[in-house]
Each structure stands twice: as C-alpha cells, then as structure tokens.
Amino acid sequence: MPNEPWKTDKWFVSPWNFAAEVQAGLHFSKRIEVHDITLRDGEQQTGIIFTKDDKIRIAEALAEAGVHRIEAGMPVVSPGDAAAIKEIVKRNLGPEIFAFSRCMVDDVKRAVDCGVSGVVMEVPSSEHIIKYAYKWPLEKAIDLSIEATAYAHQQGLEVIFFPIDFTRAEMNWVLDLITRVAREGHMDGLVLVDTFGVCHPHAMQYFVRQVKARINKRLEAHFHMDFGMGVANTIMALAEGVEVMHTTVLGIGERAGNTPMEETVMGLLTLYGIDIGLKYEKLYDLAHLVQKLSGQAVPSNKPVVGDMLYQIESGIIASWYQNCGDENAIELFPYRWDVVGQSPAKVVMGKGSGIDSIKMWLKKIGVQASEEEALKILAAVKDFSLQRKRLLTEEEFRGIANANVPARASAS
C-alpha cells in the first residue's frame, strides 16, 4: 500500500524489512554520521593520486552532499597533503575536518598545525601486527600511544582511537590494551576497524556487543571490502548502536577498497527508513567527480551510481516500462533515478531488445512500420548488436529502419 516506509513515491522495497519481528532486533542510534575517508584511505588505493586542487574539489562536493565529517588526509605524508588539509580547513565548508596520524607526537603536531578539529590515531591492536609489522616491543606501542593521545587531547583535538587489525586480535587482550591507553592517554571515540575485511556480518554483531560491554565511548565503523562485506558489516554495526560510519566515495581504498558510501546510505534510507540527512540527489555527481579525478573505471551496473542502471535493454522490461510509465517506475526499479541524481530511465537498443522496444524507437524517429517490417527491424537490430557486441546509436537504428521500411511508409 502507498505511504508505508517500504513504498513511497520515490522507492519500493520489501515490506518484510519493516516487520515487527525484524525491527525488534534493530538498535540504531538516533543520530548516525558519515565520516568520509576518500581523501585519505581512498587515496591509498594503488594508482590513485589526488592533487591539492583535486582534494579541495572533492571536499567541496562532499560538503555539498551533506557529509558530516571529512578525514582530509595525513599531514605527515607530504607537504602537499598538509597544504591541502590546511586549505580545506580554511574554507570552512561545514563538515568537521579531521586528520589521520600515527601514534606519534610529531604526527599530532602536524595535525595541529593544519587547524583540524580532530585526529584519528592509529593504534596497533594485535600482538602479531605489533611483532611482525611494527617490529616494536609491546611496551613501546603502548607508551607511544599513551603519549600521543594525551598530547592530542592537550592540544584541544578530538581524539579517535583507530586500532589497526582489530578484528584479528584476541578480544580481551586488545580491549585491555585500549582501556589502558584510554585511561593513561585519552580517547573520545573508538573505531571498530576491520583492516583486512575479514569479519562477516554475524561476527560483527558479536564484535560490537563485546566492545560495548567494556567501552563506554562513541563507536565508529571502518570496514574494508576484501570479501565484499563492507556494506553489510557497516549496517550491522550501526544496527547495534554504532554512531559513525567510515566510508569512501565509490568504495575506493586500500586493496579491494573501503565501504562505499552510496550503497550504505541508500540502504539505510530505503531498506531501514533511516534518513541521515544527506542530499542524496548529489550522490551521482559526487561519484563521477571522484571517478574523474581518481581515474578509476566504474562498472556501468555499480549500485546507485552506475551509468546504465536506468537504461533498459531487455525486451520484457521495456514492455513493462511502456505499461508503467515514469509515474509507476518504482514497479521496475527499487528507487527512482532522481533520488540519487541519475538521468531518467530510457529504453536502449541492443541484442536483448524486443518488439515493443522497436515500436517505441520507430515512434521516436517518426517512422511507421507494419508488424512484419517491425519484426524484420528487430532481427536486424539483434544481429547488428551481436556482431558489434554493443548497443546501437539512434543513427544506426534509423539506418536499419530505413533499410527495412519502404520510403512511402516513412513519416514526412
């Protein structure tokens, strides 16, 4: 029925999402924020390089989309990165601006110099990562973390713990470590970090509950996509009361990438009825800006922002679209194109086209054809598309139509 959370004039999803039995198990925070990490973790994807101007343009677009927090970079990486962070802060775009740092006082000093309001500080969190990756004795890791987090707090920064490799650590051991660093240093928030994307959604629920039983601080979610679980894990964590999601535009990031913002926020909006206050109609343009500046190819069927999501080739779907029209388009799509800033749906011509598609295109180009002629055109279209393995342009379709329809049948 209309005007239910699962069916509005903009989207149509499963009513089961809102069943009382399902809703009873959800414990979302009253306020959920996006902490965008495109400019830091996103740039860590192999081959992605953002210039200072690129970073400023992306930050402006993130602000226009209503993102709550922007992790603008890691000042210690280069003078250019520090300069970009300073300029982003200077522009006062609206979102809170954070920097990322190692658990070292010098890193924090560089963040302070950039004028950010907060710092996300990486803290090694598993015995094996400290031993093999850092090659530090445990006490060194703890001492540096305590010193650096205390110093950041003294400088007036919001301090967010970022325990690297959290999901591969022994639970009680790492929580003891975090508790000690928080007690002797400082912590305003704690990020649940799945550095290598190795946690599944059912374990994520356990993870959040175990941490909440020991840590009474704001929790944030930072998950990677090595097994494609980032979106599901993030939403599972949010449903357990985690308040902040770390995401990137297009899901760019180290290895298989980070949790993509577009899918996550649209899932919350439509599948759970949770509006976190973004300007969702900006998502498409934001994604394509990042695509352009990062040089990354984006699949044409990528959820939310893929270029061909609203292009209809299948003959049966084209027939449905003809019957439904734009006013009932949510019978064919889970949400309308304008919700995310996409172009309106359209029927395209290719190997999968059907007779109704042919008739729609004939009408569009002003050519009248008999049923027999339309069928000949359909066969020719399918052959043309098959041979070239692509869709047809309007000019190519017109050529096929004119070749199969007598001149006397063409509209003047």
Residue 343 has a pLDDT of 97
Residue 1 scores a pLDDT above 50:
no
Instruction: List CB contacts of 23: < 8 A, sequence separation 6 or more.
Output: none
Which ranges in 185-331 belong to alpha helices (H)? 201-214, 230-239, 261-271, 283-294, 315-324
Residue 412 scores a pLDDT above 50:
no
Q: Say whether 362 sits in a helix, a strand or coil.
A: helix
Amino acid in the structure at residue 259: T
Chain-wide mean pLDDT for the chain?
94
Share of the chain above pLDDT 70, in %: 98
C-alpha 33: how far from chain center: 13
The count of other CB atoms within 10 Å of the CB of residue 227 is 15
Q: Give bridge partners of residue 4 from the DSSP assignment.
A: 7
For residue 246 the two structure tokens come to 């770390």
pLDDT in tens, 157-171: 999 999 999 999 989
Mean pLDDT over 18-30 rounds to 96
Q: Of the candidates 222, 223, 149, 136, which has an alpha carbon nearest to the alpha carbon of residue 180?
A: 149
pLDDT in tens, 294-337: 999 999 999 999 999 999 999 999 999 999 999 999 999 999 99
For residue 227 the two structure tokens come to 């097994």
pLDDT band at 3; cut points 50, 70, 90: low
Share of the chain above pLDDT 90, in %: 89
Residue 129 scores a pLDDT above 90:
no
Mean pLDDT over 172-198 rounds to 93
Residues of the chain with CATH 3.20.20.70: 31-294
Range 31-294: architecture per CATH? Alpha-Beta Barrel (3.20)
DSSP string, 63-95: HHTT-SEEE---GGG-HHHHHHHHHHHHTT-SS
Residue 71 has a pLDDT of 98
pLDDT in tens, 51-109: 999 999 999 999 999 999 999 999 999 999 999 999 999 999 999 999 999 989 999 99
Integer angstrom CA distances of residue 275 from 8, 22, 221, 269, 306? 14, 18, 18, 5, 22
Per the rule left: phi > 0, alpha: psi between -120 and 50, beta: everything else, 314 is: beta
Least confident of 37-41, 173-177, 241-245: 173-177
Instruction: List CB contacts of 160: < 8 A, sequence separation 6 or more.
Output: 98, 118, 119, 120, 121, 187, 188, 189, 190, 191, 220
**Site of tokens 């305003």:** 188
For residues 150 and 105, the answer to whether their CB atoms sit within 8 Å is: no
Residue 408 scores a pLDDT above 70:
no
As a whole number of angstroms, the longest Cα–Cα distance in the chain is 90
DSSP string, 95-161: SEEEEEEESSHHHHHHHHHHT-SEEEEEEE-SHHIIIIII---HHHHHHHHHHHHHHHHHTT-EEEE
Q: Of the candidates 282, 243, 242, which has an alpha carbon nearest to the alpha carbon of residue 262?
A: 282
Least confident of 1-5, 182-186, 196-200, 203-207: 1-5
Residue 35 has a pLDDT of 98
Report residue 217: phi and psi, to 5°.
Answer: -135, 165
Residue 411 scores a pLDDT above 60:
no
Work out the end-to-end distance of the chain between its first and last CA atoms, rounded to an integer number of angstroms. 46
pLDDT band at 136; cut points 50, 70, 90: confident
Q: Of the candidates 264, 338, 301, 286, which has an alpha carbon nearest to the alpha carbon of residue 11?
A: 338
Model-wide pTM > 0.75: yes
